[in-house]
Structure 1
Amino acid sequence: GKASFVFFSRIVPKKNLISAIKYFDTIDGEVNFDIYGPIEDDIYWKECQDAISKLPPNITVKHKGIIDHDHVFEVLSQYDAFLFPTWSENFGHVISEALFSECPVIISDQTPWRGLEEAGAGWDIELDNSSKFIQAINHVVHIDDNEQLKMRSHSKKYANSKFNLENLKNEYIKALNTL
């Protein structure tokens, strides 16, 4: 199998890039893992680089700098999955950007984005369950093109369902009526 993964966030401990890197240690198959985002913690980035240097040769990791905001959807849509084992997100705009880009997500359960696996749009996984993260990565590496296309389409469908304006309007009216 073969797959490309993306991490897109500030490079700070809270975003947990180090775990994302270490998950690739036992993955078989050809993997590209591209990291986008500003390095805001040099000591942490050095730890990440050390972890990268220990990965097997079938895993290629590159820091690609910052994505210009006008190109976020275009860039994210080129990847098979967005990997983001964050320690916590109030909303996680980058997760919605990945989903709207038809890029399935493998994220921690520390975000409001839940029920991803049931929706066929990715995985939301407990942070202490690294074997489940590895299982999800392996799934993406080894699925066929049809399955990948299905996941892409489910990702966008899931994002649209979360942003359905009619639903939001009805919830808002319901909330107002309870006042």
Structure 2
Amino acid sequence: MVLFLVNRIGPYHHDRFEYLVGKIDFVVIEICGRDKTYKWDAIDCTNDYKSVTLFDNESYGLFSLAKKLTKYFFQFRPSHVFIPGWAKSYSLISLLLGKLFASKCIVMSDSTKGDKRRFFALEALKKSILKFFDGALVAGTRQIEYLKLLGFKKEVYTGYDVVNNTVFKNSGKNFQGDFIFIGRFIDEKNIILMLEAFLVYTKKIEFPRKLILVGDGHLRSAIEEFIKINGLTELVILKGFLQRDDIVEQLSISHSLILPSISETWGLVVNEALASFLPVIVSDKCGCCLDLVQGNGYLVDPKSKFDIVDKLLEFHNLSEEQYELMCQKSKLLSEQWSLEKYLSSVKHLSS
């Protein structure tokens, strides 16, 4: 039996696990049923695959965590354990238990060298921890590069960060649509600089597209103030946090996605945009940029307001033929990064 560890089962995890049903024998341990980061609706997966939830929320002690994990390792006795990362307490405890139960331990990671500041001592510690893993399931190219930098020499497969492409509405006919940003309203997403760039764009174009902002977070008040002070209330639309079904609808009527993050391990919203056949403007700091931006949009320097302005103008001035060609390239890329890729990698690593 294969055991998957996850902090919380969200819609993306659920889709991946559903796709594994009937193809491998597995069980999922969810650490907590609710967290402070995401407002996802609770997912009832009891009729889809076997899973257990250890705690209602993130308020749990280390001893209780170790005790419950040990209980389920005894119960399931997994041949393989897929463990998210190497930094969380549940990851390290699961790695230790995996070794004690002679399970093959697979690290799942979307970390890159540049997604945050790195320190020599911590990097040395990671190298030591990674020696105990037997393989890795990572997001893409930059994640492979980072594992190599950390001295990881075991087998590595990609496809950790994929979405259920079939959920998304992919007409590829949104030439008259608006720009859209989807993400948490936090500093790393670079939203204020994006708004500054959008403001410049609106002054250069007689009939500018609107910018739809989907998400919520501690920067909401600052974003609302910027919109009001700069007279953008008719052009920047705040949709708040949306569940996945509503995001699907919003993408289906959008022209293109903008993700200007200054730090982003991967960027699943780019997968969603590609599954909706949308062109994309993506920060060159995003972990997905080498894999998911290939002729279907532009990379942008997230620290340069005027680079973002230039890319907005280029998108605005695309001919309909150029736009549809980018849509088709997004379609082709989305097919390469699918649940089937995830399944194939899991099968290789658990064989």
TM range (shorter): 0.7 to 0.9
**Cα distance in 2 for residues equivalent to 1:164 and 1:69:** 17
Q: Note the C-alpha offset of 1:74.
A: 3.0
Q: Which residue of 1 aligns with 2:221?
A: 46
**Cα distance in 1 for residues equivalent to 2:220 and 2:293:** 34
The question of whether the paired residues in 2 share the 8 Å contact of 1:3 and 1:30 is answered with no
**Cα distance in 1 for residues equivalent to 2:246 and 2:229:** 31
1:103 paired to 2:281: no
Q: Note the C-alpha offset of 1:67.
A: 2.3
Higher relative contact order by CA 8 Å / sep ≥ 6: 1 or 2?
Answer: 1
TM-score by length of 1: 0.79
1:18 paired to 2:174: no
Higher alpha-carbon deviation: 44-53 or 131-140? 44-53
Distance 1:77 1:2, change over 3 A: closer
The one-letter code sitting in structure 1 at the alignment partner of 2:277 is E
Higher alpha-carbon deviation: 69-78 or 135-144? 69-78
Q: Note the C-alpha offset of 1:167.
A: 9.9
Q: Which residue of 2 aligns with 1:31?
A: 209
For 1:119, what is the secondary structure of its paired residue?
A: coil
**Cα distance in 2 for residues equivalent to 1:118 and 1:45:** 28
Higher alpha-carbon deviation: 71-80 or 132-141? 71-80
Q: Note the C-alpha offset of 1:15.
A: 1.3
Q: Note the C-alpha offset of 1:112.
A: 2.1
The one-letter code sitting in structure 2 at the alignment partner of 1:18 is I
The one-letter code sitting in structure 1 at the alignment partner of 2:249 is E
The one-letter code sitting in structure 2 at the alignment partner of 1:26 is V
1:112 paired to 2:290: no
For 1:128, what is the secondary structure of its paired residue?
A: coil
Distance 1:24 1:65, change over 3 A: same
TM-score by length of 2: 0.43
The one-letter code sitting in structure 2 at the alignment partner of 1:81 is S
Q: Note the C-alpha offset of 1:148.
A: 1.5
**Cα distance in 2 for residues equivalent to 1:57 and 1:75:** 20
1:6 paired to 2:180: yes
**Cα distance in 2 for residues equivalent to 1:14 and 1:76:** 22
The question of whether the paired residues in 1 share the 8 Å contact of 2:293 and 2:299 is answered with no
1:78 paired to 2:253: yes
More helix by share: 1
**Cα distance in 1 for residues equivalent to 2:266 and 2:293:** 20
* Structure with the greater alpha carbon radius of gyration: 2
The answer for unaligned runs of 5 or more in structure 1 is none
Higher alpha-carbon deviation: 100-109 or 51-60? 51-60
**Cα distance in 1 for residues equivalent to 2:181 and 2:293:** 23
The question of whether the paired residues in 2 share the 8 Å contact of 1:2 and 1:30 is answered with no
**Cα distance in 2 for residues equivalent to 1:117 and 1:123:** 10
Q: Which residue of 1 aligns with 2:308?
A: 133
Please tell me the root mean square deviation across aligned C-alpha atoms, in Å: 3.1
